[in-house]
């Protein structure tokens, strides 16, 4: 068993587990996109970043980082939250209509996308590629190209004979499901879960809610 500290609490997990595994055994929620149960860890999306404390603190992907004795992990520090929000903004600039990404944005308080939006309908998380190869034993789809031209596709753009038409690649995709307000985005944000309308409140505020003021406001 390996002993480490997560958010100031010591825990013991089996050797070979990842920091993400260890955090989840403690009930700590770390957002993920490229990680998917039953598939190999990939560490591409970087949404699951945590802060590793030490002489020189660093941000690491928790889904690919193996546990080590004496590790001190912080899962929700200001540095971690800032980095995750930046990553979600970047991903939204490529897939603004993704319900999964819009839900993450709402949960993290992201209320605008500051990057130029270029709809690519893919965040290159590799879920579909790994599912096809590891679960279906097919390998009919894969990554094509390099750099900014990298994408998921098939050889020569043709339907491979290995494909079983299972639909699993679409099922595991985190961006295939469209957000409820996908066609009315404002600054790249759906806003359906952010309640961007003014909240009406009573004239005397007794601070019964941290999110509502006496004159109403926009909640983010």
Domains of the chain: residue spans and CATH: 1-76 (3.10.20.740), 77-121+180-220 (no CATH), 127-171 (no CATH)
Residue indicated by tokens 């926009």: 218
Q: Average pLDDT, stretch 27-53?
A: 94
Instruction: Report pLDDT for 195.
Output: 53
Mean pLDDT of the chain: 85
Which token pair is 14? 């089996």
Residues 6 or more apart whose CB falls under 8 angstroms from that of 141 comprise: 128, 129, 132, 152, 153, 154, 160, 163, 169
Distance CA 220, CA 212 (A): 11
Does position 173 have pLDDT exceeding 60, yes or no? yes
pLDDT for the residue 55: 81
What pTM, to 2 d.p., does this model score?
0.81
At 217, is the pLDDT very low, low, confident or very high (cuts 50, 70, 90)? Answer: very low
Q: What is the spatial order of strands in the sheet that 9-13 belongs to?
A: 9-13, 2-6, 72-74, 49-52, 58-61
Q: Which residues pair with 107 in a beta bridge?
A: none
Comparing 211 with 107, the larger pLDDT belongs to 107
């Amino acid at each position: 068993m390996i002993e480490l500290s997560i958010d100031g609490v010591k825990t013991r997990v089996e050797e070979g587990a990842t920091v993400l595994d260890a955090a989840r055994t403690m009930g700590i929620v770390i957002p993920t996109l490229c990680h998917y149960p039953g598939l190999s860890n990939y560490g591409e999306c970087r949404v699951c970043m945590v802060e590793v404390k030490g002489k020189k603190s660093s941000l690491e992907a928790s889904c690919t980082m193996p546990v080590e004795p004496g590790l001190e992990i912080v899962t929700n520090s200001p540095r971690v939250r800032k980095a995750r929000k930046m990553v979600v903004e970047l991903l939204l600039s490529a897939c603004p209509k993704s319900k999964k990404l819009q839900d993450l944005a709402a949960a993290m308080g992201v209320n605008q996308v500051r990057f130029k939006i270029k709809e690519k309908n893919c965040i290159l998380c590799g879920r579909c590629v790994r599912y096809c190869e590891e679960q279906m034993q097919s390998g009919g789809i894969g990554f094509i190209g390099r750099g900014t031209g990298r994408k998921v596709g098939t050889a020569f753009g043709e339907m491979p004979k290995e494909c079983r038409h299972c639909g699993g690649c679409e099922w595991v995709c985190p961006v295939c499901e469209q957000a409820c307000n996908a066609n009315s985005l404002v600054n790249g944000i759906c806003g359906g879960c952010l309640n961007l309308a003014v909240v009406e409140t009573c004239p005397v505020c007794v601070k019964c809610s941290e999110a509502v003021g006496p004159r109403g406001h926009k909640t983010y």
